[in-house]
Amino acid sequence: MSHHHNEHDDHDHETPIKTPKQLIIVVLAAFVVPIIAIVLLVQYVAHNEKTGAGSDAMTEQAIAERIKPVANPVIKDPNAAVVLKSGEEVFKTTCTGCHSAGLMGAPKVGDKAAWGPRIGQGLDTLFKHALDGYKQMPAQKGAFEDAEIRSAIVYMANQSGGSLKEPAAK
């Protein structure tokens, strides 16, 4: 009798499943729970895709915005000798577009009255304004070497009654 009792105890420790009915419930649960989890997961993923495609995250503009290079780097050969353009060359390439005709209120080259007070600010301020942009004046940063922008300003100012000194080449 005592032997049989012990065996029964061991059985109790091994598993709480004692009847076939319990076994069926456990087996069903083992299948049903993962299936519910999978269904929920699939719904979650499908829903995410829907908002992804429907939202403006996929518009051409948004994509172009995302793949555009950071800060439009200008690739330069570090070994290439730097030949700086003269102020006149830079002026004729770009600045003339606005500064010859006085577009958008740009001070015309040769217009002493327009340039006088601007030159009075000093080359450093003029340079900063040309580099970073100033009111309608678009930023020139990156379009030319800094020294080239300075030279162009000196050229324009000196064509307009100024007597700025060409910055010494580094």
Per CB under 6 A, residues contacting ligand HEC are 90, 94-95, 97-99, 103-107, 118, 121, 125-126, 129-130, 134-138, 140, 149, 152-153
In terms of CB distance, is 6 or 163 closer to ligand HEC? 163
Q: What minimum distance in Å lies between the beta carbon of 61 and ligand HEC?
A: 24
* CA gap 166, 170 in Å, rounded: 12
In terms of CB distance, is 41 or 113 closer to ligand HEC? 113
Query: What's the burial of 72, exposed, middle or buried (CB within 10 Å: 0-12/13-18/19+)?
Result: exposed
Alpha-carbon distance values, 116 to 98, 100, 166 (Å): 18, 16, 18
Q: What minimum distance in Å lies between the beta carbon of 95 and ligand HEC?
A: 3
Q: What minimum distance in Å lies between the beta carbon of 148 and ligand HEC?
A: 8
In sequence order, which ranges of 68-111 are alpha helices (DSSP H)? 87-90, 96-99
Q: What minimum distance in Å lies between the beta carbon of 115 and ligand HEC?
A: 8
- On whether the CB atoms of residues 68 and 60 are closer than 8 A, the answer is no
In terms of CB distance, is 49 or 109 closer to ligand HEC? 109
* CA gap 3, 5 in Å, rounded: 5
In terms of CB distance, is 22 or 125 closer to ligand HEC? 125
